[in-house]
């Protein structure tokens, strides 16, 4: 996923991805990624949780404009309301 | 069912159920590592942006050829899906993750309904004509095809459609 994202970003379109693995994101370094903390196969969360999916999608879109540092990983898997920017990825 | 399919599906369920196994696998597996990231700043307000979805969840129209699950190095091709598709016309071909929840509600993987809602409420400007689906788990020589051929093809199609932002959902 990160490789496809990098190609699209390089072509001149801003991108953001869900990542299900901090380990993979740190290796591949997509331009902008969000770790929601969901299990494999559930990038947008649980089935039929339209509100949860919509909230996550709005956050993703907002982060496209908010993130200023290439390679930033936003960790949403910590407690609600304590979104943290993982600066390790950009170092 | 082929032995490979049975084995792949077994490990997919194991990784979904026990995330620490996934983390261990990711730490020990070699990926194409990069020192830095490409960068294109967003210069528009979201309410004026045309947004596209790209997934690696192996989603495709039932009328399109399924992804090739018999090649152990994966399938680097993609499927173009109209953004206004009837969800009943979609299916998932992918043995490397447990997609039973995605089968029940495709928005878990390709959230086209959610994107349509955001366009309707004016949070974004519009939705791209198409979404694009790959399958993940691509290794070996197929990585070269993915980077040099199929991903640039998708990027060209997105640009031709005037897309401003791309959301990517892996599985």
Q: Are B113 and B36 in contact (CB under 8 A)?
A: no
- Give me B80's structure tokens: 């173009």
Task: Tell me if chain B has a CB within 8 Å of the CB of A30.
Answer: yes
Dihedral sign computed on CA atoms, order B136, B137, B143, B145: negative
Average pLDDT over residues A41-49: 95
- Give me B77's structure tokens: 């091709």
A70 and B32 within 8 Å at the Cβ level: the answer is no
**In which band, very low, low, confident or very high, does the pLDDT at A1 lie, cut at 50, 70 and 90?**
confident
Chain A partners within 8 Å of B101 (Cβ):
41-42, 46-47
Per-residue pLDDT of chain B (171 residues; tens, 9 = 90+): 677 777 777 777 777 777 777 677 667 666 677 778 999 999 999 999 999 999 999 999 999 999 999 998 899 999 999 999 999 999 999 888 899 999 999 999 999 999 999 999 999 999 999 999 999 888 888 999 999 999 999 999 999 999 999 999 998
Q: Which residue, among B25, B41, B42, would best test binding to A if mutated, counting the most A CBs under 10 Å from its CB?
A: B42
Residue A83 has pLDDT above 60, yes or no: no
Question: What is the Cβ-side half-sphere exposure of residue A45, based on CA atoms within 13 angstroms?
Answer: 16
Using the 8-state DSSP alphabet, how is residue B143 labeled?
Answer: H
Write down the pTM of the prediction: 0.87
User: What are the helix (H) ranges across chain A?
Assistant: 2-10, 22-28, 50-66
Count CB pairs under 8 A between chains A and B.
199
Average pLDDT, chain A: 86
B108 and A53 within 8 Å at the Cβ level: the answer is yes
Q: Which residue has the tokens 């993703």?
A: A60
Give me the residues of A, 35-54, that contact B with CB < 8 A: 39-48, 50, 53-54
């Amino acid at each position: 996923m990160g490789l496809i994202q990098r190609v699209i970003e390089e072509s001149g379109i801003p991108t953001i991805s869900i990542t299900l693995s901090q380990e993979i994101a740190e290796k591949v370094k997509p331009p902008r990624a969000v770790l929601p903390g969901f299990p494999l196969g559930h990038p947008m969360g649980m089935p039929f949780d339209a509100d949860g999916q919509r909230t996550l999608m709005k956050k993703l879109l907002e982060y496209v404009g908010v993130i200023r540092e290439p390679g930033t990983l936003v960790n949403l898997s910590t407690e609600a309301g304590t979104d943290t920017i993982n600066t390790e990825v950009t170092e | 069912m082929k032995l490979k399919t049975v084995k792949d599906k077994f490990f997919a369920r194991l990784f979904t159920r026990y995330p620490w196994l996934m983390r261990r696998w990711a730490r020990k597996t070699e990926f194409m590592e990069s020192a830095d990231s490409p960068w294109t700043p967003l210069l528009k307000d979201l309410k004026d942006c045309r947004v596209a979805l790209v997934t690696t969840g192996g989603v495709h129209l039932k009328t399109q050829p399924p992804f090739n699950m018999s090649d152990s190095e994966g399938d680097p091709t993609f499927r173009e899906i109209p953004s206004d598709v009837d969800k009943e016309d979609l299916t998932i071909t992918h043995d490397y993750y447990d997609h039973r929840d995605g089968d029940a509600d495709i928005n878990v993987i390709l959230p086209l309904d959610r994107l349509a809602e955001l366009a309707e409420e004016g949070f974004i400007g519009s939705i791209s004509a198409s979404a694009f689906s790959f399958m993940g788990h691509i290794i070996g020589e197929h990585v070269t095809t993915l980077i040099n051929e199929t991903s640039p093809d998708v990027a060209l199609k997105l640009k031709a459609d005037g897309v401003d932002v791309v959301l990517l959902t892996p599985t």
